[in-house]
Structure 1
Amino acid sequence: MFALSFDPARPLRALFLGAHSDDIEIGCGGTVLRLVREYPRLEVKWVVFSGDATRAAEARQGAALFLQGVGKAEVVTHTFRDGFFPVQLEAIKEQFEALKAFDPHLVFTHARADRHQDHRVLSDLAWNTWRSHAVLEYEIPKYDGDLGQPNLYVRLEPELLERKIEYLVQAFGTQRSKHWFDPETFRALPRLRGMESATRYAEAFYARKVVV
């Protein structure tokens, strides 16, 4: 994975951006597990922009599960009001400016066409902030039915997908009562994307500009 651009023997800096505490894990948790496995010198900054104390604790637990084995990882949680990111744009932009010093090789963020307003704000700011970096936009299945046609696929072995699902269910107790938050949902989309990419399971991304 990413073999054309990155040498596994050298440090690889990956920045993960999520509006809500489970977004990163749902959108690209399997890819995180592949990166952890394949890049022993992986360096991670993991930023979640909204959540009360309970949700922030879940975000940290989720990150800890997915980043097991990463020698250098920083998890940051913010308390921006859920659903109101467009009117908090200036303050959120300031946090993006502070992230520039990390200088990531890979940036993972929400898809621009995502209908959730908080997701779109992070996607737009990611492209505004990192103009010479590889930005991969992940997708979140939800009520809006806004899934599109991604153009980059990361294959997931069944074992990795099952571990992703296990960690999601384990970490995010506040979400278990929601009708969509279950293993069937988290298995269905990777199966569809796997079919599209001639494999069994995959996570898919929008890669609008990639230089190799």
Structure 2
Amino acid sequence: MLDLHALRVAEIAVLGAHCDDIAIGMGGTLLTLASMSPGLRVRALVLSGDDSRREIEERHALTALCPGADLELDVLDVPDGHAPGYWEPIKTALEGFRRRCEPDIVFAPHRGDAHQDHRLLAELVPTVFRDHLVLGYEILKWEADTPQPTVFHPLIRAVAEEKARLLLKHYPSQVDRDWFDQEAFLGVTRLRGVQCRRMHAEAFVLEKAAIRFGRT
């Protein structure tokens, strides 16, 4: 397996449909990037949860997952489960978000996600971030929609365990769900680690990329 190295990442955009999507999908990657790039600019947008307990959870969680980062988070008020009916305001919000950031990498849900809110966001992000590297993360949940990822980000065990710990700590509203536990989160990162010959990893679906050969 070929290792690709992103030598300099100064700013990332992270997008989620719900509070906790980003942390579940790429919490370990956030911890790693923040530790490797002090002052990393993290621009985050979440579609639903505005002015609620869940928004408070999200702000605390992302702050913990991005230590030392320059974090800005916007949370919208799109009703959970009804994003397709709010296509136009979501697209407008994404366009406004795009004008306020210039990320090196964009992270969002992947197109094959079975949840309608995740899927709509995944479809809209590349229409706004047309000239960016877009990586689609996976969100563990009840639906059997596990993707076939094409990009893996290895995690050391301590980071995988810290991600799981922070999820349980900062999202108390979700702990009654039968899949929201440490074993489930570590199981996913261990599986993705096996698939890239590491102990743990997070996996992504690559939206589109160009490859250059030689020096041109």
TM-score bracket, shorter-length normalisation: over 0.9
Deviation at 1:173, TM superposition (A): 0.5
The superposition leaves residues 90-124 of structure 1 with CA deviations (integer Å, 9 ceiling, x where unpaired) of 00111001012212111100010000000011111
Match of 1:175 in 2: 174
AA partner of residue 46 (structure 2): V
Q: Secondary structure at the match of 1:79?
A: coil
* Corresponding residue for residue 120 of structure 1: 119
Aligned pairs (5 A) from 1:47-196: 47-51=45-49, 53-70=52-69, 72-101=70-99, 102-196=101-195
**Alignment gaps of 5+ in structure 1:** none
Gaps of 5+ in 2: 212-216
Partners of 2:194 and 2:200 within 8 A in 1 = yes
Q: Deviations over 1:138-161 (max 9, x none)?
A: 001221110121010000000001
1:33 to 2:24 alignment: no
Aligned counterparts of 2:7 and 2:88: Cα–Cα separation in 1: 34
Deviates more, 1:32-41 or 1:135-144: 32-41
Q: 2 CA distance for matches of 1:131 and 1:109?
A: 14
CA distance in 2, matches of 1:7, 1:13: 9
CA distance in structure 2 between the aligned counterparts of 1:208 and 1:119, rounded to whole angstroms: 15
Equivalents in 1 of 2:207, 2:55: separation in Å?
A: 31
Separation (CA, whole Å) in 2 of partners of 1:196 and 1:30: 17
> 1:86 & 1:195 partners in 2: Cα distance?
36
Rate the CA distance shift 1:2–1:69 in 2: closer, same or farther, 3 A. Answer: farther
Tell me the residue number matched to 2:22: 24
Shift of 1:2: 5.9
Contact 1:165 / 1:183 at 8 angstroms: preserved in 2?
Answer: yes
TM, length-normalised to structure 2: 0.92
Q: What is the count of residue pairs matched by the alignment?
A: 207
The normalised TM-score by structure 1 is 0.93
Contact kept, 8 Å, 1:33 with 1:66, in 2: the verdict is: yes
